[in-house]
Amino acid sequence: MAKALIGHLNSDLRDPRLAVENARLRNRVAELESLVLRLSEENDKLMTARAAEILTDSPQEMQPA
């Protein structure tokens, strides 16, 4: 039974090409995750700066409708 189950699993151990491809994809995912994190942090900084800029601008008088 165990032998039959193992035959249905895609194992990196049986095919070195799959192991290499899997490692390459894992590295790419890690690169993309770090890029998303960096861009998110940069966006947060820009949003904070913009909010501060809006708050420090002189308030404009509201015109009647």
Confidence of residue 19 (pLDDT cuts 50, 70, 90): confident
pLDDT 10s digits, 32-62: 999 999 999 999 999 999 999 888 886 666 6
* DSSP symbol at 15: -
* Distance of alpha carbon 26 from the chain centroid: 13
Q: Give me the DSSP letters along 22-44.
A: HHHHHHHHHHHHHHHHHHHHHHH
The rounded distance, in Å, linking the Cα atoms of 29 and 34 is 9
Coil, helix or strand for 61?
Answer: coil
